[in-house]
Amino acid sequence: MKKSVLLLFTFGSFFLVNVFAQEKKGITNNVINEQLKSAATSQQLHYPQSVTRFYRQNNYLPVWTNPESHQNTGNAMVLLDCVLQYGLSHDDFHPKELQFDMLRDILENPGSVSDSLKAQFDVLLTDAVITMLNYLHYGKLNPDYGSERVDYGMDVPFHAEAKLRDIIHSQEFTKAVLEVQPNAKLYTAFQGMLHIIRGQAPDDCYGTPGNDVMKIAVNMERIRWANVDEGEKYIQINIPTYELTFHLPDTLVVFKAIVGTPQTPSPTLQSQITYFTSFPDWLVPDRIFIRDILPKAIADSLFLDRLQISIYNKAGQLTDITNAQLKSILASPQGYYAKQAPGCDNTLGSLVFHFQNVYNIYLNQIADQKLFEKDKRDLSNGCIWLDNAAGLAALLLKYDASEQSDKLFKILKKSKTHNFVLNKPVPIKITYLTCDIKKGELIRFEDIYNMDTSLELAIYGKLQRNTSIR
């Protein structure tokens, strides 16, 4: 696309209005319907079900290419031409087919363009805008809301085709599209940084994304996955910074954390803390039971007694442990599990915070507080170990308006096992953000699990890094 053509559509709304006002014959709903079928057959659309629902509710009439269409055609084209500003790749939005030259011919010389090409342009532009709305809201590679789930529209909180239907005639179309992005402060800061990096300024949509642009883009993508609503009360654990942050309406409270090693990484996830337990039993996760507990018990006959760990069969019966029995269990561990009794040496420490997750990981205190003196704290088996867990527990009860607040420290002092159930569950988000914006500067953190490069490639494809453009 030529920049002169882009500027014409950026600033030439008068031109578009005049063109649309001309009485020229537009394409019919039958042509659009046939194009939808053709695009579905060729798998040309990113969100075929969403696009079909959109046209079905519009009686299969074109929305961008008829003379009666609105001026937002040009606004949509400019948005798609400048997706690099929003941490997205231009290649995802049908750039070969959605050319300004083609749109000019459709609007100025409609007789020179076949009805099938007009319909293709209309349908692909709809798919591109729906794709942009979904990518800005959910992200391109959201592990919880994949493109197929979003496209079918089942049990999802945001429907791009419905949003497009609501805003397509809006006088503030561009603003309405961009409002679907997260409102998290860090996301907004990343967005601002992209606008000031050379090659990504609002008046220049071109250039190859360089190192800083891609670093920001992958972290904007991760914030979209986390679904952060600014102003809500939630707990965030950011793996690369080894920190737990309790986000409250008027303040942030930060705790040191220990996360999984690169060999046993902590997962990113979203869940809710529903309760926490003082001096809990520890039901050992299967992977730790098999890879850690059993080999150590075989090598050291006192290991299980020293840590107060018992092994049970699936019927809940205590197993009489001998070295031969341990070796037999290791060979076929599916019928057994281990549990550690509460106590000062319990792996979960004096407190464990419960949140549902498929990874069977915990957020808990540990006895060895010296580990928190380390700067690099990727040391755990995948669970999150927390410094000053009692401080977090007290805050949870305080902001939960719980009548149990007075009980907490008494129970901890007496080493009692007790469940503290929250009146309102608190969202917990484990993130993997490898940079931040502080005082207008991009701050990088160690990519401890080496995940940035693969995500950059997934967003942008195989690119030659350009160090001349930040």
Q: Identify which has the larger pLDDT, 284 or 433.
A: 433
Tell me the average pLDDT across 382-403.
92
DSSP3 helix / strand / coil % (the chain, rounded to 5)? 45, 15, 40
**CB half-sphere exposure, 465, CA atoms < 13 A:** 10
Cα–Cα–Cα angle for 304, 308, 310, nearest 5°? 65
Whether residue 152 is predicted with pLDDT greater than 90 in this model: the reply is yes
Q: How far apart are CA 121 and CA 412, in angstroms?
A: 67
Give the DSSP H/E element, type plus range, for residue 56.
Answer: helix 48-56
For residue 163, what pLDDT band results from cuts at 50, 70 and 90?
A: very high
Task: Please write down the HEC assignment for all residues of 167-211.
Answer: HCCCCCHHHHHHCCCCCCHHHHHHHHHHHHCCCCCCCCCCCCCCH
Q: How many helices (H) and strands (E) does the chain have?
A: 19, 14
Instruction: For residue 365, give the nearest of 394, 328, 390 by alpha carbon.
Output: 390
For residue 9, what pLDDT band results from cuts at 50, 70 and 90?
A: very low
Q: How far apart are CA 425 and CA 53, in angstroms?
A: 36
For the chain, how long is the longest CA-to-CA vector? 91
For residue 210, what pLDDT band results from cuts at 50, 70 and 90?
A: confident
Pinpoint the alpha helices (H) of 227-291: 286-288
Tell me: the pLDDT tens digits for 109-137? 888 999 999 999 999 999 999 999 999 99
Whether residue 140 is predicted with pLDDT greater than 80 in this model: the reply is yes
Q: Can you give the pLDDT at residue 67? A: 66
